[in-house]
């Protein structure tokens, strides 16, 4: 089959959708021809490209066409919007002249799902929509866009796009429930998780770097670690408030990463000597970061259940580490943690509940150890190779049912 993938970001961009798009392409191009229609690198790229209206390159079995979109850095939202609009302006007419059997769209820019549905309609081709973050729910729930007329129009168009899709790929059961609630037939909504690389039994995990472990643990006797993006989706005030209440009990809350809300979280934590902020470590040190904590924090604020699905959960499981989910009970991280035994949960709006959960784990080290073992046991269920194979199964259906 000939697959046309639409996403603004693609390596050398470093965004999550860029990396995932490449991972999907690397999987399906073994059996299918793939054309990626993306924009100029602008998301913290390892390299930038000179402007051309369109640039085409062939990498192994994949053709990559880069539209000459603007390439402003991602930190200025108004200029980032220009990147979005210029990409769509150039990508849509180019897409109409590309030969394909199916259109696959991801979620960069945030309205890419609507664009993909329009392209598929005009080309009279089946449409597959791979949702990474659910918009406009994410924009409204994260207070990026007000819940006004623009958001309502965006939602109506998005629901049209969802209904147009032959298959909607989502990251978890909580997101699947959200999509079905928007009127999409359940049979059309497919869960494909990001998963994690599972080491073969004969291969031992790398030895932790003591400097990384020391940098994270400091002098704390019990370390709660949030490693990842400090964006609009977390219950940050609950974490900071709970950590302050635990300051005299040897508990440290350590954030590793950056994001749009880091400065606000740092301001909220000002003066708390048991809350620390560290920058990302090199990727080769991730395994050391994961094992440095006593428990990992995964947080989703109320209203965003099923809107964002934190993929970092799978890496934590593979490292055999316990999870404290500061998230609504409807989220996958809460339900799976309770079912498989690797996690405990606290209400994202109740700091006192989080304090009680942490104290309970500190007083019951056997439970903490059993959670770690449960995490290690659960990890193979989310093997990335097996999850990616589901893309091949999906496109095989198109070969047989939509010739």
**Model confidence at 23, in pLDDT bands (50, 70, 90)?**
very high
Query: How does pLDDT run across 82-104, given as a tens digit for each residue?
Result: 999 999 999 999 999 999 999 99
Closest to 262 measured CA to CA, from 240, 285, 246, 289: 240
**Model confidence at 140, in pLDDT bands (50, 70, 90)?**
confident
Q: What is the DSSP letter of 298?
A: E
What sections of 218-258 are H helices per DSSP?
236-245
Q: Tokens for 301?
A: 């604020």
User: Phi/psi of residue 138, each to 5°?
Assistant: -65, -45
| CATH class of domain segment(s) 2-195+383-401 | alpha beta
Closest to 14 measured CA to CA, from 6, 25, 22: 22
pLDDT of residue 360: 97
- CATH number among 3.20.20.70, 3.10.105.10, 3.30.1370.110, 3.40.50.2000, domain 210-381: 3.40.50.2000
Distance CA 313, CA 332 (A): 10
Residue 403 has pLDDT above 80, yes or no: no
Q: Are 161 and 116 in contact (CB under 8 A)?
A: yes
Q: Count the neighbouring beta carbons within 10 Å of the beta carbon of residue 60.
A: 9
Q: Tokens for 299?
A: 């947080």
Query: How does pLDDT run across 336-381, given as a tens digit for each residue?
Result: 999 999 999 999 999 999 999 999 999 999 999 999 999 999 999 9
**Model confidence at 401, in pLDDT bands (50, 70, 90)?**
low
Local structure of 344: helix, strand or coil: strand
362's CB contacts (< 8 A; 6+ apart) are 222, 249, 251
pLDDT of residue 265: 97
Mean pLDDT of the 118-123 span:
97
Q: What is the Cα 356 distance to its own chain's centre?
A: 29
Mean pLDDT of the 310-316 span:
94
Describe the strand order of the beta sheet including 33-38 as a list of residue ranges: 54-59, 62-67, 33-38, 2-6, 102-105, 127-130, 167-170, 189-191
What is the average pLDDT value for the chain, to the nearest integer? 93
Closest to 40 measured CA to CA, from 62, 11, 4, 79: 11
Domain edges within the chain: 2-195+383-401, 210-381
Distance CA 44, CA 37 (A): 19
Q: Among the listed ranges 12-16, 277-281, 333-337, which one has the minimum average pLDDT value? A: 12-16
pLDDT of residue 402: 55
Q: Tokens for 107?
A: 């979620």
Q: Are 24 and 130 in contact (CB under 8 A)?
A: yes
Distance CA 267, CA 315 (A): 29
Distance CA 371, CA 348 (A): 21
User: Angle formed by the axes of helices 149-164 and 112-123, to 10°?
Assistant: 40
Closest to 236 measured CA to CA, from 133, 136, 352, 351: 351
What sections of 276-328 are H helices per DSSP?
286-290, 312-318
pLDDT of residue 327: 97
pLDDT of residue 196: 94
**Model confidence at 145, in pLDDT bands (50, 70, 90)?**
confident
**Model confidence at 290, in pLDDT bands (50, 70, 90)?**
very high
2-195+383-401 and 210-381, same CATH topology: yes
Q: Which residue has the higher pLDDT, 233 or 205?
A: 233
Mean pLDDT of the 109-132 span:
96
Distance CA 123, CA 101 (A): 9
């Amino acid at each position: 089959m000939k697959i046309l993938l639409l996403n603004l970001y693609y390596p050398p961009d470093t965004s999550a959708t860029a990396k995932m798009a490449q991972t999907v392409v690397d999987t399906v191009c073994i059996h299918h021809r793939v054309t990626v229609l993306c924009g100029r690198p602008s998301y913290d790229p390892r390299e930038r490209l000179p402007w051309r209206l369109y640039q085409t390159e062939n990498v192994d079995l994949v053709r990559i066409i880069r539209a000459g979109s603007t390439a402003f850095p991602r930190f200025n939202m108004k200029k980032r919007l220009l990147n979005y609009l210029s990409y769509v302006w150039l990508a849509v007419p180019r897409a109409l002249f590309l030969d394909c059997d199916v259109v696959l769209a991801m979620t960069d820019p945030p309205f890419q799902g609507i664009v993909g549905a329009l392209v598929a309609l005009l080309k009279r081709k089946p449409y597959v929509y791979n949702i990474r973050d659910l918009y406009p729910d994410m924009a409204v729930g994260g207070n990026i866009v007000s819940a006004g007329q623009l958001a309502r129009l965006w939602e109506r168009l998005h629901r049209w796009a969802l209904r147009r899709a032959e298959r909607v790929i989502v990251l978890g059961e909580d997101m699947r429930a959200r999509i079905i609630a928007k009127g999409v037939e359940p049979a059309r909504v497919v869960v494909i998780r990001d998963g994690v690389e599972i080491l073969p039994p004969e291969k031992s995990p790398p030895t932790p770097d003591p400097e990384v472990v020391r940098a994270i643990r400091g002098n704390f006797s019990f370390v709660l670690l949030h490693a990842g993006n400090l964006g609009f989706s977390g219950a940050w005030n609950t974490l900071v408030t709970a950590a302050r209440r635990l300051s005299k009990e040897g508990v440290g809350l350590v954030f590793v990463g950056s994001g749009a809300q880091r400065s606000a979280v740092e301001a909220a934590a000002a003066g708390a000597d048991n809350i620390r902020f560290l920058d990302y470590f090199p990727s080769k040190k991730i395994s050391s970061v994961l094992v440095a904590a006593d428990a990992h924090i995964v947080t989703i604020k109320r209203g965003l259940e099923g809107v964002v699905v934190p993929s970092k959960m799978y890496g934590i499981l593979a490292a055999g580490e316990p999870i404290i989910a500061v998230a609504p009970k409807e989220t996958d991280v809460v339900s799976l943690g309770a079912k498989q035994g690797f996690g405990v949960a606290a209400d994202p709006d109740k700091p006192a509940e989080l304090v009680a959960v942490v104290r309970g784990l500190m007083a019951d080290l056997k439970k903490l150890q059993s959670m770690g073992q449960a995490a290690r046991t659960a990890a193979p269920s989310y093997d990335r190779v097996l999850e990616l194979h589901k893309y091949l199964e999906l496109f095989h259906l198109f070969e047989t049912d939509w010739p």
